[in-house]
């Protein structure tokens, strides 16, 4: 084949190749056009879907977001309010001293009557005979009978109000009552009055005080169930201030004559509070369970003369008492004052003032023997019933202090009274008291915290 023919064949092949290339190019163009159309269709579908989503979702989400913001803000406000209110109420509840049932009556006695230069119209300072002492100690049956009535009666508590501390009383069925000395909270840090391995019962009073005159009967009966008195001395309250038959635990004729019969008037009254007078102190008393420390001021003052008391009593009794013993509104100053080993305290008389409310006058008060007979044969609304009832309350508290070591503490009525007395008060304490309301306040705090949590996190679907 010559050169020209070869060139012609090459040109022919190139033509065929060009045709094929043109064909391929056309096919590619078609495919490209088809692909673009498909892509455009797909894009249109995506755009349509996006539009539908925007219409169906975007607008409601915008409205829900605005509503949710308001609800979140409301949840925050409610949460903070609940937490604050619950915390404040819980704090007030834990700091307050609640004294049982509600009421506004205060049974605190008030010694405001005047005194007389002549305190006694009986056998001043003479010893009561042994028969009388035996009559005061041998009272098991009488105490048990009145104790059964007390257990069958009811317990009433009066909360602290104004400047008055709270009180609890054991009420007899005939409505006579015995006030319960107030338990000292352990958080008060009052020292034990233990001496020679035994707790101590402290009494501070005044010779002319009529409330003290009645009170001595009650705690003398109570102490007689734990030990023995070997001597008691005749005594009366001031002749123009009740003239109540009672006794004292010690006696000094020179002291009595100096400060009762020979002192001049001060501030137009005999032996006024500006003239502190000394004490008859100590008692002829022995007990394997408890010490007895009585202090009766001789003279006209019905306020505690701390300067006349021994250092042990001033430092261990009056110092914590002046600070209130951790008891709401508790204060001392007047007499009588009782302190059972700094575990129970009372400022005032613990028994119903029957000798003031039964129509007696200073000249018609019953004799010592008449009062003793009333105690040995107690009847409704009698002095004997009242004195025995008050003695039972003191017996229950002494049993608690001595850890029920004495035989009298095993008696069923004493155990019942002891339980009632122990449950009567809710003493002030540094620790919170979680009653029903306290749990309500805690619930408020928890509910507030939950509301605040959802308000802060803007969570939906649980509450809204």
Give tens-digit pLDDT for 385-424: 999 999 999 999 999 999 999 999 999 999 999 998 888 8
CA-to-CA distance for 60 and 21, rounded, in angstroms? 57
Minimum mean pLDDT range among 59-73, 108-122, 450-464? 108-122
Query: What pLDDT is recorded for position 63?
Result: 56
CA-to-CA distance for 386 and 379, rounded, in angstroms? 9
- Residue 10 sits at the vertex; the CA angle it makes with 7 and 11, to the nearest 5 degrees, is 85
Query: What pLDDT is recorded for position 461?
Result: 44
The token pair that represents 127 in the structure block: 């010893």
Task: Say which DSSP state 319 is in.
Answer: H
Q: Give this prediction's pTM.
A: 0.67
**pLDDT tier for residue 464 given thresholds of 50, 70 and 90:** very low
**pLDDT tier for residue 442 given thresholds of 50, 70 and 90:** confident
**pLDDT tier for residue 142 given thresholds of 50, 70 and 90:** very high
CA-to-CA distance for 413 and 151, rounded, in angstroms? 7
Task: Bin 8: left if φ > 0, else alpha if -120 < ψ < 50, else beta.
Answer: alpha
CA-to-CA distance for 149 and 59, rounded, in angstroms? 80
Average pLDDT over residues 125-151: 92
CA 360 to centroid of chain Cα atoms: 38
The better pLDDT of the pair 62, 331 is held by: 331
248: three-class secondary structure by DSSP: strand
Q: What percent of the chain has pLDDT over 70?
A: 68
Tally Cβ neighbours within 10 Å of residue 186.
Answer: 13
**pLDDT tier for residue 38 given thresholds of 50, 70 and 90:** low
CA-to-CA distance for 364 and 360, rounded, in angstroms? 6
The better pLDDT of the pair 60, 230 is held by: 230
Q: Is residue 199's pLDDT more than 80?
A: yes
**Where would I find the H helices in 207-267?**
210-224, 253-256
Phi, psi of 372 (to 5 degrees): -65, -40
Query: What pLDDT is recorded for position 101?
Result: 31
Minimum mean pLDDT range among 31-35, 193-197, 226-230, 240-244? 31-35
CA-to-CA distance for 45 and 34, rounded, in angstroms? 16
Task: Say which DSSP state 284 is in.
Answer: S
Query: What pLDDT is recorded for position 145?
Result: 97
Query: What pLDDT is recorded for position 4?
Result: 64
CA-to-CA distance for 237 and 211, rounded, in angstroms? 8
State the Rg of the chain over Cα: 45
The better pLDDT of the pair 438, 167 is held by: 167
């Amino acid at each position: 084949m010559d050169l020209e023919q070869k060139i012609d064949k090459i040109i022919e092949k190139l033509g065929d190749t060009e045709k094929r290339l043109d064909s391929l190019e056309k096919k590619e163009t078609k495919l490209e056009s088809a692909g673009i159309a498909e892509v455009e269709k797909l894009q249109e579908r995506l755009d349509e879907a996006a539009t539908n989503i925007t219409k169906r979702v975007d607008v409601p989400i915008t409205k829900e977001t605005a509503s949710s913001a308001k609800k979140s803000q409301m949840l925050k406000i409610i949460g903070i309010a609940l937490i604050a209110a619950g915390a404040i109420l819980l704090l007030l509840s834990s700091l307050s001293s609640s004294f049982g049932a509600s009421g506004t009556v205060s049974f605190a006695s008030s010694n405001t009557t005047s005194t007389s230069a002549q305190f006694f119209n009986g056998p001043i300072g003479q010893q009561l005979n042994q028969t009388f002492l035996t009559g005061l100690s041998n009272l098991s049956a009488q105490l048990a009978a009145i104790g059964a009535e007390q257990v069958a009666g009811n317990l009433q508590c009066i909360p602290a109000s104004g400047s008055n501390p709270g009180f609890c009383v054991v009420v007899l069925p005939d409505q006579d009552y015995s006030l319960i000395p107030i338990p000292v909270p352990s958080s008060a840090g009052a020292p034990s009055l233990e001496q020679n391995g035994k707790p101590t019962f402290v009494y501070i009073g005044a010779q002319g005080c009529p409330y003290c005159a009645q009170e001595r009967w009650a705690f003398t009966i109570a102490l007689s169930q734990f030990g023995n008195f070997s001597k008691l001395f005749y005594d009366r309250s001031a002749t123009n201030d009740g003239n109540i038959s009672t006794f004292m635990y010690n006696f000094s004729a020179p002291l009595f004559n100096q400060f009762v019969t020979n002192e001049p008037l001060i501030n137009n009254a005999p032996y006024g509070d500006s003239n502190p007078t000394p004490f008859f102190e100590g008692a002829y008393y022995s007990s394997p369970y408890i010490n007895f420390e009585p202090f009766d001021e001789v003279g006209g003052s019905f306020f505690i003369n701390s300067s006349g008391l021994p250092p042990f009593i001033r430092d261990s009794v009056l110092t914590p008492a002046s600070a209130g013993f951790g008891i709401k509104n508790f204060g001392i100053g007047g007499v009588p004052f009782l302190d059972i080993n700094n575990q129970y305290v009372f400022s005032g008389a613990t028994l119903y003032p029957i000798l003031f409310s039964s129509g007696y006058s200073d000249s018609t008060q019953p004799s010592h023997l008449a009062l003793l007979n009333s105690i040995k044969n107690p009847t409704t609304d009698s002095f004997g019933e009242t004195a025995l009832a008050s003695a039972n309350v003191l017996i229950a508290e002494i049993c608690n202090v001595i850890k029920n070591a004495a035989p009298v503490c095993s008696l069923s009525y004493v155990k019942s009274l002891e339980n009632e007395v122990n449950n009567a008060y809710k003493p002030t304490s540094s620790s919170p008291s979680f009653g029903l309301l306290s749990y309500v306040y805690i619930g408020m705090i928890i509910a507030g915290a939950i509301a605040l949590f959802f308000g802060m996190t803007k969570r939906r679907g649980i509450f809204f």
